Amino acid sequence: MRRTLALLALLAGLSLAQMPAYPENTLGLGYAPDRGVYLQGSLLLPFAPLGIDTGLDAQVLLTPSPEVYALLKANLFPGLVLMDLYTSLGLGLDLRYPFGAHLGPLVSLEIPGGALSGSLGLGYQGGFHLAWGVGFRLYLEPLALEASASDRYPFLLTLLYLW
């Protein structure tokens, strides 16, 4: 019985070690100079039986008139390599309040000590709308510092806690 438990613990550890850079479990605060303070987090979703890693990213603008952003993502090609750098390609569904919805590709490229990421989406927000986002994340385990820009804000600096 002990051998079986040890083998299961080893297999669980190896499977967790194979998780891609995105999605991740995070929680943090961000600041956009023209918008204010954002509460930001992300969470792995338990849809691994489908054979893909899935996650949810969320941001809430902490003002009297809040804005909420949620990105459901599926990491479709987690094991790509570009010039010896780990690359991930996925699909995201971006949902926003006030109402907006976009669907499009997500890409991340791990570089030593960090990651570059980008997203693009077509959808609706008060009419036909193109959503986009780019970001850089510097890992300072268990913290990360993220600088990003998107169609929602020109610049956002976020400090995240990773677990």
Distance of alpha carbon 1 from alpha carbon 27, whole angstroms: 38
Sketch the domain layout of the chain as residue ranges.
21-161
Closest CA to 125 of 106, 147, 148, 97: 97
Instruction: Answer yes or no: is pLDDT of 11 > 50.
Output: no
Q: What is the pLDDT of residues 131-153, one digit of tens each?
A: 999 999 999 989 999 999 999 99
Q: What is the pLDDT of residues 26-81, one digit of tens each?
A: 999 999 999 999 999 999 988 766 678 899 999 999 999 999 999 999 999 888 99
Q: Please state the pTM of the whole predicted model.
A: 0.82
Least confident of 4-8, 125-129, 156-160: 4-8
Q: What is the pLDDT of residues 19-40, one digit of tens each?
A: 334 678 999 999 999 999 999 9
- Residue 3: the pLDDT is 67
- The CATH code of the domain at 21-161 is 2.40.160
Q: What is the dihedral of CA 98, 101, 104, 106, to 10 degrees?
A: 40
Structure token pair of residue 77: 């090609």
